[in-house]
Amino acid sequence: MRTLPRLDADNRAFWTGGKDNELRLLRCKDCARFIHPPRPVCRYCLSENVAPEAVAGTGVIDTFTVNYQKWHPAMEVPFVIARVAIDGAPGVILTTNIVGCAVDAVDIGDRVRVTFEQQDDVYLPLFEKIA
């Protein structure tokens, strides 16, 4: 079982977009840049005219690690933790897991696509390699 985020007005769109199979990031309607983590103001132009918007859901592995340590007894290891730079949203990087492949098949620069894992009311954006 994963530790889940507490949903609130700022982060709900991000964590529940998977219900509609959409990766949703907050975007500034004035300067058009994406903001992450989501906040009610644009960090680039200070506009408050911000709203969630679906992105393509693909990206590139910026860096990664293969985690071997069981941080709690029930944890299944090894698994891949990665930072994924999101296509179409320059500057937005998500920490995530790379799933659906062997842990030694992951490298920086690999192209990946989002896949959602539901747990309770949260849809976690995980990523798998694009063949």
Q: Name the site residues for another protein (rule: CB under 8 A).
A: 2-8, 11, 36-37, 62-69, 71-72, 75, 79, 81-83, 91-97, 107-108, 122, 124, 126
Residue 130 Cβ, how far from another protein at the closest point, in Å?
Answer: 19
Whether the Cβ atoms of residue 65 and residue 71 lie closer than 8 Å to each other: no
Residue 88 Cβ, how far from another protein at the closest point, in Å?
Answer: 17
Distance in angstroms (rounded) separating the CA atoms of residues 77 and 131: 24
Distance in angstroms (rounded) separating the CA atoms of residues 66 and 74: 17
* 18: phi then psi, degrees, rounded to nearest 5: -65, -20
Indicate the residue among 13 and 122 with the shorter CB distance to another protein. 122
Residue 51 Cβ, how far from another protein at the closest point, in Å?
Answer: 20
